[in-house]
Chain A
Amino acid sequence: MAEVKAELVGNLWKIVVEVGQAVQEDDTLMILESMKMEIPITSPVSGTVKEITVKEGDVVQEGQTVAIVE
């Protein structure tokens, strides 16, 4: 199981996967926006999205867990 963490603070613009979806390592799971820069959050492992802990429009903090992939 891998916790996916945001590496930068930003507004969560878009979630591009769903719970239960199979993903590959480095696939984009969601996109943050900060200073009008779009920043992907990618999966650190291949697996299945078990949980998404944020919603679009949230302000995400650096180091915050945004999803779990197992």
Chain B
Amino acid sequence: MVKQRNFDVHHVQRTDSTQDEVRAAASRRAGDGWCCVAEEQTAGRGRLGRRWVAPPGTSLLASVLLRLPADRLEGVPFAGGLATLDALERTAGVHARLKWPNDVLAGGGKVAGLLAEVVSASGESPAAVALGLGVNLSVPEFPPGIAGVSLHTLAARPPSRDAVLDAWLDALGRRLAALEARGLAALLPDWRQAAAGLGAPVTVTTPSATISGLALDVAEDGALLVQTDAGVRRFLAGDVSLGGAAAWLS
């Protein structure tokens, strides 16, 4: 039987990073669903240590502690991305898409991003994951080179931060329940429906190479499959750029 998730939301005015708040909570043995939402982050980050910059009060900045079986870990980024699409559709009527695996695109740019960090020690079960979400709600402008889009420019009636958070947590609970019950396979049909760039040219940049090809699909383990001149390549990580467009930040 799949458990029902209950989220325990803690509001803070200012923090270095909501991800760090969740890490600290995990070390205090906080339970599954412990969530931190902040007005402002002074050291917000995206993946690989990149900065996530948001003027105070203009974004939903939240992280949640998830405890789930270690063999379901690979599905967390997919569940988080799909839940974000669910929330934007429900609260703002915005139909966003996902660039592998979970960059949230709408209106020609990135409207939201997610960061998943495993925080438990190796071998610990259930595993603990800090899943962070940043949604551009009313960001007036983005720094040069950032292909960001703010929700207030897309929605006829922009939703409140709390409305988006509530909808995200609700959707996340449902997506994670499906993941825990049936694995990543339970999420991939919806992910494929929502994917941006499948069947189109992509460029994948890894620390060791830049590879161009045709994005074919995602494998059952979530890897991105790209048809290249040298055959089909599997990617577990990397920055994906769609077509000839400028690289999306990820």
Contact = CB atoms under 8 A, between A and B. Distances in A.
A44 interface: yes
Contact of A57 (B76, B78, B121, B206): B206
Interface string A27-42: 0000001111111111
A42 B122 contact: yes
B250 A8 contact: no
Given A36-B102, A42-B122, A13 B236 contact: no
Chain A interface main SS type:
strand
Interface in A1-55: 7-11, 13, 26, 33-42, 44
- How large, as a class, is the contact surface on chain A? 20 to 34
Contacts, number: 71
Q: Most chain-B CB neighbours within 10 Å: which of A10, A37, A44?
A: A37
Given A9-B236, A11-B207, A36 B116 contact: yes
A10 B237 CA distance: 7
Contacts of B118: 37-40
A42 B121 CA distance: 6
B48 A33 contact: yes
Contact of A33 (B47, B70, B222): B47
